[in-house]
Chains A and B, each alone.
Chain A
Amino acid sequence: MQKEAEIRDPLIIGNKSYHDITKDIAKPVEGKANKYWWILFSLSLVLFIWGVLCMAYTIGTGIGAWGLNKTVNWAWDITNFVWWIGIGHAGTLISAVLLLFRQKWRMSINRSAEAMTIFGVAQAALFPLIHMGRPWLAYYVFPIPNQFGSLWVNFNSPLLWDVFAISTYFSVSVVFWYIGLIPDFAMIRDRMSAKTAPMKKQLYSFLSFGWSGKAKHWQRFEEVSLVLAGLATPLVFSVHSIVSMDFATSIIPGWHTTIFPPYFVLGALFSGFAMVETLLIIMRKVVNMEAYITIKHIEYMNIIILLTGSLVGTAYITELFMSWYSGVEFEQYAFLNRATGPYWWAYAIMMTCNVLTPQLYWFSSIRKSFVATFILSIFVNIGMWFERFVIIVTSLHRDFLPSSWSMFSPTFIDLGIYVGTIGFFFVLFLLYARTFPVIAQAELKSILKSSGSEYKNKK
C-alpha cells in the first residue's frame, strides 16, 4: 500500500468504502437528471443551434460575413481558436504531467479535465475549418499527392505543423482518456441489470470492451498509462508552442518574438486550469461529488493558477521591456499602441484579469473559498480571451502604411459562432456528465486507504 504523510489533508471526505465510491460515481449515470441539468442543457442547446445557423450562414455566403477587413485579416476566429486550444491544455497537464509527478489529487479530477480537453480541442478545430471557406476541401491540409488537386503541403510552415500537432494531440488525448475509461465502464456495466435496463447494459458492455480486471491486465494498464503520460507530456508542451509559432515565425511587430512558445504554453495552462475550476465547481454540486472534489483540490489548482499567472505577467513585462530594449521603432510602437492606443481597454482587461486578480490567491482565505475561486476563474477565462485578442488584433490593426490603419469590430455572425461553440462545448460536457463515470473510480479506490479521511483519522 502507498504511504502518505499524516499532515496532508485527506483527498476523499467521509466514511467511504469501495462500494460507496462505486455507488456515488454510478449514480449520475443510473439516475434521472435534475432540474438544473435540464435548464443548463436547454440553454446550451439554444446557443449551439444559434452557432450552427451562423456557421451555415458563413459557409453559404463566405468569410465576408465576418468583421475582418484588409488590414485586420485574422481576428475573432483565431482568437477563439487559440483560446479553446489553451483551455484544452489543463486536461492533459492534470492527467499526464501530474501522473509523472505522482500527484494523487489528480485522480478525482483527471477524467473531467480530459473530457474538457477533448471537447475544447473539438471547438478549436471548428474555427480553422470554417475559415477555410470551403470546409469540404479540408483534406487539402493533409499530405496527399498533387494529383488530388492541390500541391503537396509545405512542411516548412508552422500552419502545417499545427495540423499535425493538433490532430495528434486530439487523437492521443482521446486514446489516453478511453484507456482509463474502460475499467470504469466495466464497473457501470456490472451494476446494470439485463432485465431492467437491457439497452444500457448492452451499451456499457460494448463500451467496456469486455474488461474483467485480471492481474496481468492491470499490470499492463499501469504501464500503458505511464508511457502515455510520458508521451503526452512533451506533446502538450509542443502543441501550444507550435500554435505560438503561427505568430512568432511571421515578421509582424508584436508577434515576431522568441518568448512566444513558453509564454503561450504558460498562458494555456493558466486558462485551462481556470476552466477546469469553473466546470468542476459547478459539476461537484450538480452530480453530488462533494466528497471527491474537495476544497483541497481547488486549492492545489489555485496554486498552479497563481504560479502560471505570475509567470504570464512576467512574460507581459518582458515583452514590453524587450520592445524598448530592441531599439526597433516598429516594435516599440506596436507595444506602445497595444497599451495606450485605441485598444487600451482590451489591454487593461487583460492585465487586470491575468496579472492582478490572480494575485489574490496569495491569501489562503481566498484560495480556500469555492465562491471566490469561481469568480476569479471566470476573470481568468475572460482575461485569457482578451490576451489573444490583444496579441492578434493590436498587432495587425496599425500596419506598415498609416493609410490602411483600421479597427476591427465583430459582426453578429462572429459573435454567434463564438457563443455557439460555448454552447456546443457545454452540450457535450453535460451529456458526458450524465453518461460517463465522471471520476476515475478505479484509480481513486487505489488511494482510498492512504488518502481517505476515515483511514487517515484511524491512524
Chain B
Amino acid sequence: MSKNTLYGIFDCELVLLAAVKEIRANKIDIKEVYSPFPVHGLDKALGLKETRMAITAFIYGCIGLFLAALMIWNIMIVDWAQNIGGKPNFTFYHNMPAFIPIMFECTVLFAAHLMSITYLIRNGLYPGGVSDSPDVRTTDDKFLMEIEVEGDVAAVKAMLTKTGATEINEKDA
C-alpha cells in the first residue's frame, strides 16, 4: 500500500494543541510537529519523553569539578609546591578554601559547554546544517503537523479539517 504524507497547517497554537490531543485520541500517529516557537504542553500532548539534558549537565558539571580539583592538586601540591604568603601547601584540603573559586568556575564551564554541545548533537544541528522542515512558514507564523498515512487518506484529511487545520498539503512517498 502506498504511504502518503499529510501536512496539516494551523494558524494558532491553541487550536494545534487541541488538534494534537484529538488526533492522537483517534489513534492516528503524528510523525512530527513544527512550530515557530515553543508551545507549552505540546511535548506532553505528543507523548514525548522528558528530555535528559539537565541530567547531562549535572554529569558534566561533576566531571568539571573533578578535573579542576585534579589539576589544582597536581599543580599546587604535587608538582611544584610553593610557600605563598605562608599558606598551607602540603595537603590539598588545607589549601582548598583558596581553590574553591576556580573549582566552581570549571564546574560551570564544563556543564554549560558540554551540555550545549550535547544539545546540538542530539538535535542534529551543526554549522551549515540543512533544515528538513517541509514548509518555510513554520519559522514565521504557521504550525505544521506531519502525519504519515497508510490507507484512508480522506479520513485523516477530514480529521485535520475538523480539528482546525487551515490548509492541508499532501506528498506522495
Contact = CB atoms under 8 A, between A and B. Distances in A.
Contacts of B61: 231
Tell me whether chain A's interface is mostly helix, strand or loop, or mixed: helix
B172 to A, nearest CB: 21
Interface in A182-230: 182-183, 186-187, 189-191, 205-224, 226-228
B154 interface: no
Contacts, number: 205
B72 interface: yes
A189 B166 CA distance: 24
A213 B105 contact: no
B32 A187 contact: no
Contact of A213 (B35, B122, B128): B35
Q: Which of A19, A155, A165, A172 has the most CB of B within 10 A?
A: A155
A212 B143 CA distance: 12
A451 B151 CA distance: 43
Interface in A150-186: 151-158, 160-161, 164-165, 168, 171-172, 175-176, 179, 182-183, 186
A217 B119 CA distance: 9
A172 B79 CA distance: 30
Given A220-B53, A231-B111, A446-B38, A1 B139 contact: no
B120 interface: yes
A216 B14 contact: no
A414 to B, nearest CB: 30
Interface in A106-126: none
A443 interface: yes
Contacts of A223: 51, 53-54
Contacts of A72: none
A231 B112 contact: yes
Contacts of B109: 164, 168, 171-172
B102 interface: yes
Given A155-B102, A186-B139, A215-B48, A175 B113 contact: yes
A93 to B, nearest CB: 16
Contacts of A405: none
Contacts of A217: 123
B106 A213 contact: no
Nearest to B137: A190
Contacts of B101: 158, 161, 164-165, 238, 242
Contact of A156 (B95, B108, B133): B95
Contacts of A17: 141
A231 B106 CA distance: 11
Given A22-B140, A172-B109, A214 B84 contact: no
Contacts of A349: none
A175 B110 CA distance: 12
Chain B: number of interface residues, binned into ranges: 35 or more
B112 A175 contact: yes
A210 B53 contact: no
Contacts of B129: 208-211
Given A209-B120, A213-B139, A172 B113 contact: yes
Interface stretch (B1-9, B21-29, B39-47, B155-163): B39-47
B106 A143 contact: no
A13 interface: no
A170 to B, nearest CB: 11
Chain A CB count within 10 A is highest, among B105, B124, B136, B141, for B105
A43 B3 CA distance: 62
Contacts of B32: 214-215
Contacts of B130: 205, 210
Contact of B140 (A187, A209, A218, A231): A187
Contacts of B116: 175, 179, 224, 228
B98 interface: yes
Given A155-B99, A165-B101, A238-B105, A219 B125 contact: no
A442 interface: yes
A447 to B, nearest CB: 9
A446 B123 CA distance: 21
B37 interface: yes
Contact of A218 (B42, B54, B120): B42
A211 B79 CA distance: 47
B108 A215 contact: no
Given A209-B127, A210-B129, A210-B130, A218 B105 contact: no
A183 B139 contact: yes
A106 B33 CA distance: 27
Contacts of B42: 215, 218-219
B105 A165 contact: yes
8 tightest CB-CB pairs across the interface, nearest first? A210-B129, A18-B141, A209-B125, A212-B133, A190-B136, A218-B38, A161-B101, A219-B43
Given A210-B125, A220-B123, 18 more contacts: A18-B141, A143-B71, A160-B102, A164-B109, A186-B139, A210-B130, A211-B125, A211-B131, A213-B36, A213-B139, A215-B33, A216-B43, A217-B123, A218-B35, A224-B116, A235-B105, A238-B105, A443-B37
Interface of A: 1-2, 17-19, 22, 143, 146, 151-158, 160-161, 164-165, 168, 171-172, 175-176, 179, 182-183, 186-187, 189-191, 205-224, 226-228, 231-232, 234-235, 238, 242, 442-443, 445-446, 449
5 contacts: A19-B141, A22-B36, A183-B36, A183-B139, A210-B126
